[in-house]
Structure 1
């Protein structure tokens, strides 16, 4: 699975790690629901760090489609709320 972190690039991560990302995604959704920027920043920081720890960076020269796009740690509640609203599946940032 290819995950793009907005403003940072792409990482290839094993599909088997999806459950780890889904757990953190639940924290992101909770933070947006409660409007807690502090909680959101912590969850996004953990999500980005987990992608980087479990993934292999893809060179900028390599052009490949992303399976998932996640915001970076600096995203606001409003920005992430908009991303969640645009996801027709209603499954958060990470479907699964």
Structure 2
């Protein structure tokens, strides 16, 4: 799976890693619903750090279609809220 972090680029991530990332995504969704800004920031940072850790960066000139697009590190709670689907940021 190709994942894009807005403003950073793309990484290739094994599909099997989505279960682990979904746990963080569920936490993020709950924090957004509560409007808990500090918890939201910690969890978004953890989610993006885990994607970077687990993923293999694609070259900057690679233009693969992204199957998943995640917000930038500095995205606000309201900006991320606009990106959400019923499943959060990560389907499943």
CA distance in 2, matches of 1:62, 1:79: 26
Task: Count matched residues.
Answer: 92
CA-based RMSD: 0.8
Match of 2:37 in 1: 37
CA distance in 2, matches of 1:83, 1:33: 13
Runs of 4+ deviating beyond 6 Å: none
Match of 1:8 in 2: 8
Task: Name stretches of at least 5 consecutive residues in structure 2 with no aligned partner.
Answer: none
CA distance in 1, matches of 2:45, 2:62: 25
CA distance in 2, matches of 1:75, 1:28: 13
- TM-score in terms of structure 1 length: 0.91
CA distance in 1, matches of 2:34, 2:12: 31
Map Cα deviations across residues 33-74 of structure 1 (whole Å, 9 max, x no partner).
011111111111101110011010011111101000011221
Match of 1:95 in 2: 91
- TM-score in terms of structure 2 length: 0.95
Task: Name stretches of at least 5 consecutive residues in structure 1 with no aligned partner.
Answer: none
